[in-house]
Amino acid sequence: MTGERMKSVFAALFDHFGAQNWWPGDSPFEIAVGAILTQNTNWQNVARAIENLKKAKMLQVHAIDRMPIVELAELIRPAGYFRLKAKRLKNFVHWLLERFGGSMDAMTACSLSTLREELLSINGIGPETADSILLYAAAKPTFVVDAYTHRIAVRHGWIEPDVGYDGLKEHFESHLPDDVPMLNEMHALLVQVGKNYCRPREARCEQCPLKRMLPEGGPIEPDGS
DNA sequence: TGCCAGGCCGGGT
DNA sequence: ACCCGGCATGGC
Protein backbone atom coordinates (compact mmCIF):
# COMPACT_ATOMS: atom_id res chain seq x y z
CA MET A 1 0.00 0.00 0.00
CA THR A 2 1.21 3.45 -0.92
CA GLY A 3 -0.18 6.93 -0.45
CA GLU A 4 -1.09 6.98 -4.14
CA ARG A 5 -2.94 3.68 -3.87
CA MET A 6 -4.81 4.88 -0.81
CA LYS A 7 -5.77 7.97 -2.77
CA SER A 8 -7.21 5.83 -5.55
CA VAL A 9 -9.17 3.82 -2.99
CA PHE A 10 -10.65 7.02 -1.63
CA ALA A 11 -11.44 8.27 -5.14
CA ALA A 12 -13.21 5.03 -6.04
CA LEU A 13 -15.30 5.11 -2.88
CA PHE A 14 -16.14 8.80 -3.11
CA ASP A 15 -17.11 8.38 -6.75
CA HIS A 16 -19.36 5.43 -5.91
CA PHE A 17 -21.03 6.58 -2.68
CA GLY A 18 -20.61 10.36 -2.74
CA ALA A 19 -19.94 12.58 0.28
CA GLN A 20 -21.16 10.99 3.53
CA ASN A 21 -21.03 14.10 5.72
CA TRP A 22 -20.85 12.25 9.00
CA TRP A 23 -21.63 12.60 11.90
CA PRO A 24 -25.44 12.78 12.12
CA GLY A 25 -25.81 14.84 15.27
CA ASP A 26 -26.99 18.30 16.23
CA SER A 27 -24.14 19.05 18.66
CA PRO A 28 -20.72 17.76 19.71
CA PHE A 29 -22.24 16.41 22.92
CA GLU A 30 -24.90 14.50 21.01
CA ILE A 31 -22.16 13.03 18.83
CA ALA A 32 -20.19 11.88 21.86
CA VAL A 33 -23.31 10.28 23.32
CA GLY A 34 -23.96 8.58 19.99
CA ALA A 35 -20.39 7.28 19.88
CA ILE A 36 -20.91 5.49 23.19
CA LEU A 37 -24.40 4.21 22.37
CA THR A 38 -23.36 2.76 19.02
CA GLN A 39 -20.83 0.34 20.48
CA ASN A 40 -21.52 -2.95 18.67
CA THR A 41 -24.98 -1.65 17.84
CA ASN A 42 -26.97 -0.70 14.75
CA TRP A 43 -27.26 3.07 14.32
CA GLN A 44 -31.02 2.86 13.87
CA ASN A 45 -31.40 1.61 17.43
CA VAL A 46 -29.08 4.34 18.65
CA ALA A 47 -31.19 6.99 16.90
CA ARG A 48 -34.22 5.80 18.88
CA ALA A 49 -32.34 6.07 22.14
CA ILE A 50 -31.15 9.58 21.30
CA GLU A 51 -34.68 10.55 20.35
CA ASN A 52 -35.88 9.33 23.74
CA LEU A 53 -33.24 11.45 25.47
CA LYS A 54 -34.27 14.50 23.46
CA LYS A 55 -37.96 14.08 24.14
CA ALA A 56 -37.21 13.77 27.86
CA LYS A 57 -34.96 16.86 27.68
CA MET A 58 -32.16 14.71 28.99
CA LEU A 59 -29.61 15.13 26.21
CA GLN A 60 -27.55 17.48 28.33
CA VAL A 61 -24.44 17.10 30.46
CA HIS A 62 -26.01 18.03 33.78
CA ALA A 63 -29.19 16.09 33.15
CA ILE A 64 -27.32 12.85 32.48
CA ASP A 65 -25.04 13.45 35.44
CA ARG A 66 -27.92 13.91 37.86
CA MET A 67 -30.46 11.43 36.54
CA PRO A 68 -30.85 8.14 38.40
CA ILE A 69 -29.02 5.50 36.41
CA VAL A 70 -32.08 3.26 36.15
CA GLU A 71 -34.08 6.05 34.50
CA LEU A 72 -31.25 6.81 32.12
CA ALA A 73 -31.01 3.12 31.24
CA GLU A 74 -34.73 3.02 30.49
CA LEU A 75 -34.47 5.92 28.04
CA ILE A 76 -31.61 4.34 26.12
CA ARG A 77 -33.04 0.82 26.19
CA PRO A 78 -33.46 0.58 22.38
CA ALA A 79 -29.69 0.91 21.94
CA GLY A 80 -29.05 -2.42 23.68
CA TYR A 81 -26.63 -3.15 26.55
CA PHE A 82 -28.64 -0.39 28.18
CA ARG A 83 -27.53 -0.86 31.80
CA LEU A 84 -23.91 -0.98 30.71
CA LYS A 85 -24.21 2.04 28.45
CA ALA A 86 -26.04 4.09 31.08
CA LYS A 87 -23.02 3.60 33.31
CA ARG A 88 -20.66 4.47 30.46
CA LEU A 89 -22.53 7.68 29.64
CA LYS A 90 -22.32 8.73 33.26
CA ASN A 91 -18.60 7.93 33.36
CA PHE A 92 -17.98 10.11 30.32
CA VAL A 93 -20.15 12.97 31.57
CA HIS A 94 -18.52 12.85 34.98
CA TRP A 95 -15.10 13.20 33.37
CA LEU A 96 -16.33 16.03 31.14
CA LEU A 97 -17.64 17.94 34.17
CA GLU A 98 -14.58 17.36 36.30
CA ARG A 99 -12.07 18.09 33.59
CA PHE A 100 -13.75 20.76 31.45
CA GLY A 101 -16.70 22.01 33.46
CA GLY A 102 -19.00 20.03 31.19
CA SER A 103 -18.03 22.03 28.11
CA MET A 104 -17.34 20.24 24.83
CA ASP A 105 -15.79 23.47 23.54
CA ALA A 106 -13.33 23.51 26.41
CA MET A 107 -12.57 19.86 25.75
CA THR A 108 -11.91 20.59 22.09
CA ALA A 109 -9.35 23.23 23.02
CA CYS A 110 -7.19 20.48 24.55
CA SER A 111 -4.62 18.57 22.51
CA LEU A 112 -5.39 15.36 20.60
CA SER A 113 -2.82 13.20 22.38
CA THR A 114 -3.82 14.35 25.85
CA LEU A 115 -7.51 13.89 25.16
CA ARG A 116 -7.05 10.44 23.65
CA GLU A 117 -5.12 9.24 26.65
CA GLU A 118 -7.69 10.63 29.08
CA LEU A 119 -10.66 9.26 27.16
CA LEU A 120 -9.08 5.80 27.11
CA SER A 121 -8.76 5.93 30.88
CA ILE A 122 -12.54 6.24 31.24
CA ASN A 123 -14.23 2.91 31.93
CA GLY A 124 -16.36 2.03 28.92
CA ILE A 125 -14.47 4.10 26.38
CA GLY A 126 -12.10 2.07 24.23
CA PRO A 127 -10.04 3.06 21.18
CA GLU A 128 -12.86 3.23 18.64
CA THR A 129 -15.18 5.26 20.86
CA ALA A 130 -12.34 7.60 21.84
CA ASP A 131 -11.31 8.16 18.23
CA SER A 132 -14.94 8.67 17.16
CA ILE A 133 -15.41 11.36 19.77
CA LEU A 134 -12.09 12.98 18.83
CA LEU A 135 -12.73 13.00 15.09
CA TYR A 136 -16.47 13.57 14.87
CA ALA A 137 -17.21 15.64 17.97
CA ALA A 138 -13.92 17.49 18.48
CA ALA A 139 -12.70 17.60 14.85
CA LYS A 140 -9.27 16.23 15.75
CA PRO A 141 -7.24 14.53 12.99
CA THR A 142 -7.41 10.87 14.05
CA PHE A 143 -8.51 7.83 12.04
CA VAL A 144 -11.34 5.68 13.40
CA VAL A 145 -10.90 1.91 13.07
CA ASP A 146 -13.83 -0.46 13.31
CA ALA A 147 -14.80 -4.02 12.44
CA TYR A 148 -15.49 -2.99 8.83
CA THR A 149 -12.08 -1.37 8.48
CA HIS A 150 -10.41 -4.56 9.62
CA ARG A 151 -12.45 -6.84 7.36
CA ILE A 152 -11.97 -4.66 4.29
CA ALA A 153 -8.23 -4.24 4.86
CA VAL A 154 -7.66 -7.96 5.38
CA ARG A 155 -9.76 -9.10 2.42
CA HIS A 156 -7.84 -6.80 0.12
CA GLY A 157 -4.49 -7.92 1.49
CA TRP A 158 -3.56 -4.48 2.80
CA ILE A 159 -2.60 -5.84 6.22
CA GLU A 160 -2.15 -9.13 8.09
CA PRO A 161 -5.29 -10.56 9.72
CA ASP A 162 -3.78 -10.46 13.21
CA VAL A 163 -3.09 -6.72 13.13
CA GLY A 164 -4.50 -4.92 16.15
CA TYR A 165 -6.37 -1.64 16.49
CA ASP A 166 -3.29 0.54 16.68
CA GLY A 167 -1.61 -1.23 13.76
CA LEU A 168 -4.64 -0.70 11.56
CA LYS A 169 -4.98 2.92 12.65
CA GLU A 170 -1.32 3.53 11.90
CA HIS A 171 -1.66 1.91 8.49
CA PHE A 172 -4.39 4.29 7.40
CA GLU A 173 -2.97 7.41 9.03
CA SER A 174 0.43 6.89 7.42
CA HIS A 175 -1.14 6.69 3.97
CA LEU A 176 -3.72 9.45 4.30
CA PRO A 177 -3.27 13.21 4.59
CA ASP A 178 -3.45 14.54 8.14
CA ASP A 179 -6.72 16.25 7.35
CA VAL A 180 -9.96 16.12 9.34
CA PRO A 181 -12.46 16.13 6.43
CA MET A 182 -10.44 13.40 4.68
CA LEU A 183 -10.23 11.15 7.76
CA ASN A 184 -13.91 11.78 8.42
CA GLU A 185 -15.00 10.83 4.91
CA MET A 186 -12.67 7.85 4.62
CA HIS A 187 -14.02 6.15 7.72
CA ALA A 188 -17.62 6.84 6.71
CA LEU A 189 -17.00 5.50 3.20
CA LEU A 190 -15.42 2.31 4.53
CA VAL A 191 -18.52 1.74 6.65
CA GLN A 192 -20.60 1.97 3.47
CA VAL A 193 -18.41 -0.63 1.76
CA GLY A 194 -18.74 -2.87 4.80
CA LYS A 195 -22.49 -2.60 4.97
CA ASN A 196 -23.15 -3.06 1.28
CA TYR A 197 -20.40 -5.23 -0.14
CA CYS A 198 -17.89 -6.50 2.40
CA ARG A 199 -20.09 -8.40 4.82
CA PRO A 200 -19.18 -11.18 7.24
CA ARG A 201 -18.97 -14.44 5.31
CA GLU A 202 -20.34 -12.73 2.21
CA ALA A 203 -18.07 -10.74 -0.06
CA ARG A 204 -20.20 -9.15 -2.79
CA CYS A 205 -17.15 -8.20 -4.80
CA GLU A 206 -18.85 -8.11 -8.20
CA GLN A 207 -20.63 -4.85 -7.41
CA CYS A 208 -18.05 -3.40 -5.03
CA PRO A 209 -16.21 -0.22 -6.04
CA LEU A 210 -13.02 -1.82 -4.69
CA LYS A 211 -13.25 -5.00 -6.78
CA ARG A 212 -10.28 -3.99 -8.93
CA MET A 213 -8.16 -3.68 -5.79
CA LEU A 214 -8.61 -7.35 -4.82
CA PRO A 215 -5.53 -9.60 -4.70
CA GLU A 216 -5.07 -12.40 -7.26
CA GLY A 217 -7.44 -15.24 -6.40
CA GLY A 218 -10.06 -13.08 -4.74
CA PRO A 219 -10.70 -11.84 -1.23
CA ILE A 220 -8.76 -13.14 1.79
CA GLU A 221 -11.03 -14.09 4.66
CA PRO A 222 -10.20 -12.48 8.01
CA ASP A 223 -10.47 -15.85 9.78
CA GLY A 224 -8.05 -17.42 7.30
CA SER A 225 -10.58 -19.76 5.63
C1' DT B 1 -34.82 -17.93 12.65
C1' DG B 2 -30.39 -17.05 13.37
C1' DC B 3 -27.24 -13.57 12.43
C1' DC B 4 -25.76 -9.05 12.57
C1' DA B 5 -25.01 -4.19 14.14
C1' DG B 6 -19.91 1.88 13.56
C1' DG B 7 -17.10 -2.48 21.25
C1' DC B 8 -15.45 -2.91 25.75
C1' DC B 9 -14.53 -4.99 30.18
C1' DG B 10 -13.05 -8.46 33.50
C1' DG B 11 -11.44 -12.84 34.69
C1' DG B 12 -8.93 -16.72 33.28
C1' DT B 13 -4.92 -18.98 30.99
C1' DA C 1 -0.07 -10.87 26.08
C1' DC C 2 -4.05 -13.11 24.28
C1' DC C 3 -8.75 -15.51 24.75
C1' DC C 4 -13.44 -15.69 25.96
C1' DG C 5 -18.07 -14.92 27.96
C1' DG C 6 -21.16 -11.33 29.06
C1' DC C 7 -23.77 -7.46 27.84
C1' DA C 8 -29.31 -6.58 24.90
C1' DT C 9 -32.19 -4.47 21.45
C1' DG C 10 -34.44 -4.44 16.82
C1' DG C 11 -34.23 -5.45 11.60
C1' DC C 12 -33.82 -8.44 7.98
| Domains in chain A, CATH or no CATH each | 3-20+144-213 (1.10.1670.10), 28-137 (1.10.340.30)
Rounded to two decimals, what is the model's pTM?
0.96
- Give per-residue pLDDT as tens, A68-83: 999 999 999 999 999 9
* pLDDT > 90 in chain A, percent: 90
Residue A225's pLDDT is 57
The mean pLDDT value for A9-16 works out to 96
pLDDT at A22: 83
pLDDT of A123 over the 70 cut: yes
Identify whether the C-beta of residue A41 lies closer than 8 Å to the C-beta of residue A10. no
The residues of the protein lying within 7 Å (CB) of strand C read A 40-42, 44-45, 48, 77-85, 164
Query: Rounded to whole angstroms, how far apart are CA atoms A158 and A8?
Result: 14
For A8, phi then psi, to 5°, come to -70, -30
Mean pLDDT, range A132-154, rounded to an integer: 96
Of residues A201 and A94, which shows the higher confidence score? Answer: A94
Note the strand C nucleotides within 7 A of protein beta carbons: 2, 7-11
Residue A6 contacts residue A32 (beta carbons within 8 Å): no
Residues with CB under 7 A from strand B: A 22-24, 34-35, 38-43, 45, 80-81, 84, 122-130, 132, 136, 146-148, 165, 191, 194-195, 199-201
Q: What is the pLDDT of residue A3?
A: 76
Q: How far apart are CA A159 and CA A155, in angstroms?
A: 9
| Tens digit of each residue's pLDDT (9 = 90 or more) over A150-176 | 999 999 999 998 999 999 999 999 999
pLDDT of residue A222: 79
In whole angstroms, B10 C1' to A71 CA is 26
- Say if residues A141 and A180 touch (Cβ distance below 8 Å): yes
pLDDT of residue A221: 80
